[in-house]
């Protein structure tokens, strides 16, 4: 029996990745006078810096901003002046302060599900920024719990479920990342629903093996209440 | 009756603020060739930038690093080149990766208290960095819970206690900050023990009114088990 449904935040409840894509567009423009790299090469360098910094910085906009700054310094051999790096830093501030835009069908899905289930947010990233986005979503009152974690692996899911006394067999995770929202939850005996977003960050991309993993894939959260009803009927 | 004791992390369990002080020393040296400010004026500018960025960045080393970068750019009128800003960014990385140094008496105090009480960590800052410090402290196994929060105000304490089903009347908070560890806990009907650290960050400094607030002040955590025993006997 399903009792608890957790929703991921970024690109599941609210739009996020397209803001990063827009920011990278502006970042390329800022660097155009200094760097002789083409766009793809610059994106590649940024991704390398993000991957290298991930163990130290973790996820979120502050980590991204520091990696943008480091990339700008690296690809200009340290020549870029401070005033242009302030423009890069300001890109990060714009991201942190951006209004929250809900995805289609989120409010209706959460409203419908809270009649029968405990619905929580389970997201990763900057603590303050994610809390701010939950507050700005206008949905905070509907959520049973909000958990912001530094990584979404099996150990983290197990710890969060233990802390809230939730049996994995009664738990469904819903999110846009197969790597973070689906596979680790299946790994601890929970269920997961994949709702792909139009863009996936390269460091989140995985190709699951359909022979090994079976999970529903929805076009939007509008389909979630019916999907949960089906899962519940099967259990 | 006391049941749950929460310890703050930075400057209560492990050393922290003196690392920030050392970092600011190196920051001043890096800026010496560019800025005509004396040390006090530069510190003042940094504090202004930190205060301004706090609502957007929150607490922690990544926020501090971004504010160091912004200060360096501001006080040099944008003239500082990227290579020197990378040196500033690297100061932040050194802080994030610094070994954890426990304060005197922490291990013994936690060991003694866990015989009779549930002992938790309740700290603010970067999520991943604080988790890493708990892991590196060598004490993780002793803690009942670890809570990392974005702000330590009355609402946050109330939410954390509710989530763990802890009655404030059975709760004692122990930490180095009167502003964050003592006053809000007294405000929700809990008890608090102040263990001052040798340095206090300017944005944490408050002068409590002794006529309004009464709480034990210890020289080190070595004195904590006896202090808790006294509080327990009084309750």
pLDDT digits (tens, 9 = 90+) for B172-194: 999 999 999 999 999 999 999 99
Task: For residue range A52-91, list pLDDT tens digits in order.
Answer: 999 999 999 999 999 999 999 999 999 999 999 999 999 9
Domain boundary among B66, B96, B126: B96
Q: How confident is the model at residue A204 (pLDDT cuts 50, 70, 90)?
A: confident
Domain boundary among B62, B96, B130: B96
* 8-state DSSP, B100: P
Indicate if A134 and A119 belong to the same structural domain.
Answer: yes
Note whether A49 and A73 are within 8 A (CB).
no
A141 Cα to chain B: minimum distance (Å): 13
Position with higher pLDDT, A212 vs B224: B224
Q: With an 8 Å Cβ cutoff, is B162 touching chain A? A: no
Same domain (yes/no): B192, B125: yes
pLDDT confidence band for A202 (50 / 70 / 90) = confident
CATH number of B29's domain: 1.10.150.240
Same domain as B230, residue B118: yes
SS3 category, B175: strand
A72 shares contact with chain B (CB less than 8 Å): yes
The count of other CB atoms within 10 Å of the CB of residue B158 is 17
pLDDT digits (tens, 9 = 90+) for B85-102: 999 999 999 999 999 999
A165 and A205 both lie in a single domain: yes
Given a cut of 90, whether residue B36 has pLDDT beyond it is: no
In this structure, are B74 and B111 located in the same domain? Answer: no
The answer to whether residues A227 and A115 belong to one domain is yes
The ipTM, to two decimals, is: 0.93
Q: What is the DSSP letter of B99?
A: P
Residues spanned by the domain of B114: 4-15+101-234
For chain A, the residue count is 235
Q: How confident is the model at residue A207 (pLDDT cuts 50, 70, 90)?
A: confident
How many Å apart are CA B69 and CA B85, to the nearest integer? 6
Quick check: A167 pLDDT over 90? yes
Q: Mean pLDDT throughout A19-27?
A: 96
Q: Where a domain ends, among B42, B64, B96?
A: B96
Q: How many independent structural domains does chain A possess?
A: 2
B67 contacts chain A (CB < 8 A): no
Pairing, β A191-194 against β A4-7: unpaired
A49 touches chain B (CB under 8 A): no
For residues A126 and B127, the answer to whether their CB atoms sit within 8 Å is yes
Tell whether A172 is within 8 A of chain B (Cβ). no
At residue A142, the pLDDT reads: 97
Question: What pLDDT, on a 0 to 100 scale, did the predictor assign at position A151?
Answer: 96
Q: Between these two residues, B135 and B209, which has the higher pLDDT value?
A: B135
Cβ-based contacts of B92 with chain A (< 8 Å): 66
C-alpha to C-alpha distance for B203 and A57, rounded to whole angstroms: 24
In CATH, what number is assigned to the domain containing residue A135?
3.40.50.1000
Pair B39, B10 in one domain: no
pLDDT for B136 equals 97
Please state the rounded mean pLDDT for residues A163-178: 96
A119 pLDDT exceeds 80? Answer: yes
| Nearest alpha carbon to residue B150 among B173, B175, B122 | B122
Q: What one-character-per-residue DSSP string does B132-149 give?
A: HHHHHTT-GGG-S-EEEE
Q: Name the minimum distance, in Å, from the CA of A219 to any CA of chain B.
A: 32
Q: What is the mean pLDDT of residues B106-122?
A: 97
Task: Spell out the residues 6+ positions from residue A90 whose beta carbon is closer than 8 angstroms to its own.
Answer: none
Q: B235: pLDDT confidence band, cut at 50, 70 and 90? A: confident
What is the rounded distance in angstroms from the CA atom of residue A149 to the CA atom of residue A50? 19
The pTM of this model reads 0.94
d(CA A92, CA A94): 5
pLDDT exceeds cutoff 80 at A211: no
A106 CA: distance to closest CA in chain B (Å): 25
Interface check B129 vs A, CB under 8 A? yes
In terms of domains, do A40 and A117 share one?
no
DSSP of A147-176: EEES--SHHHHHHHHHHTT--GGGEEEEES
Chain A residue with CA closest to B133: the answer is A56
Are the CB atoms for A150 and A157 separated by under 8 Å? Answer: no
> Å from B235 to nearest chain A CA?
29
Q: Could you tell me if B132 and B92 lie in one domain?
A: no
**Are residues B119 and B198 part of one domain?**
yes
Q: Are residues B172 and B224 in the same domain?
A: yes
Domain shared by A10 and A42, yes or no: no
What is the structure's pLDDT at A37? 85
Q: What count of Cα atoms within 13 Å lies in the side-chain half-sphere of residue B144?
A: 17
**Do residues A130 and A148 make contact, with C-beta atoms less than 8 angstroms apart?**
yes
């Amino acid at each position: 029996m399903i009792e608890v449904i957790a929703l991921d935040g970024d690109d599941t409840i609210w739009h996020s990745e397209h803001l990063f894509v827009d920011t990278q567009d502006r970042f390329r423009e800022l660097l155009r006078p200094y760097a002789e790299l083409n766009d793809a090469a610059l994106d590649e360098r940024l991704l390398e810096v993000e991957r290298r910094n991930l163990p130290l910085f973790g996820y979120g906009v502050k980590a991204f901003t520091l990696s943008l700054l480091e990339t700008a310094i690296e690809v200009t051999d340290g020549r870029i002046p401070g005033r242009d790096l302030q423009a890069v830093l300001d890109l990060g501030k714009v991201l942190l302060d951006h209004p929250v835009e809900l995805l289609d069908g989120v409010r209706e899905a959460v409203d419908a599900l809270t009649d029968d289930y405990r619905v929580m947010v389970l997201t990763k990233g900057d603590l303050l920024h994610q809390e701010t986005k939950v507050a700005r979503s206008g949905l905070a009152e509907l959520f049973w719990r909000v958990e912001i974690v530094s990584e979404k692996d099996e150990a983290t899911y197990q710890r969060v479920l233990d802390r809230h006394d939730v049996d994995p067999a009664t738990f469904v995770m819903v999110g846009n990342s197969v790597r973070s929202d689906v596979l680790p939850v299946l790994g601890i005996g929970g269920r997961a629903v994949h709702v792909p977003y139009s863009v996936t960050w390269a460091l989140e991309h995985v190709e699951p093996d359909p022979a090994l993993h079976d999970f529903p894939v929805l076009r939007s959260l509008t389909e979630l209440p019916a999907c949960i009803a089906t899962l519940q009927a099967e259990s």
